[in-house]
Amino acid sequence: MSTATPKHPSITGGCVCESIRYQISFPEGSVYPPNPCTCQCTTCRKHSGALIVHFITVQLPQITWLSPTNSDSPPNRPSEIHTSSKAVRYFCAKCGTSLAFKLLELDELELMAGTLDEDVLNGPHATELTRPIGAQFFCKRVIEGTTDFIMKSEDADLKKSIKWVEDSSEGKKLD
């Protein structure tokens, strides 16, 4: 599970066209890995085009928006769309890449793990950044025989992850 640790090297990511870039810092005492989780809600599926969306949770002060690749221009910020009265989703207006999800009441951002740079996803910390050991949301939307494999895993860490019928604000854990 995620724990407070000594300073860990920062990681980077961004959109497909590279006009939006970000860096995640892990100052001493911050949580690492940054709570990897999955969601199977209808909005995540439609926004991403994926049956299961993998996120990593970071505190807002941990993220820095960077200048576009090979550019001296100032950092671009993602566009946003309010998908409910409680949440906003961030995306690149130029290429359409879905980047993140944020509950308005929290000071944290759920970054889509697929937007991490390839050297991060193929690097030595890839497994701890992407295995959904933090939580699994909207388990009531699993597709039997297709997206239920995480819930049925015999992996000890995945068995310990919290499984929510809906989201954590609903307070309904799956037994």
CB 153 within 8 A of CB 128: no
Q: What is the pLDDT of residue 139?
A: 66
pTM higher than the cut 0.85: no
Q: What is the pLDDT of residue 42?
A: 82
Strand ranges (E), the chain: 3-4, 8-14, 21-26, 31-32, 36-39, 53-59, 63-66, 79-82, 87-91, 98-103, 108-112, 135-137, 162-163
CB 98 within 8 A of CB 80: no
Q: In order along the chain (175 residues), what is the average pLDDT of each group of 10 residues?
A: 68 94 90 81 85 89 83 82 91 94 92 94 82 68 70 62 58 52
Q: What is the pLDDT of residue 92?
A: 94
Domain extents in the chain: 3-170
Return the CATH number of the domain spanning residue range 3-170. 2.170.150.70
Q: What is the pLDDT of residue 170?
A: 54
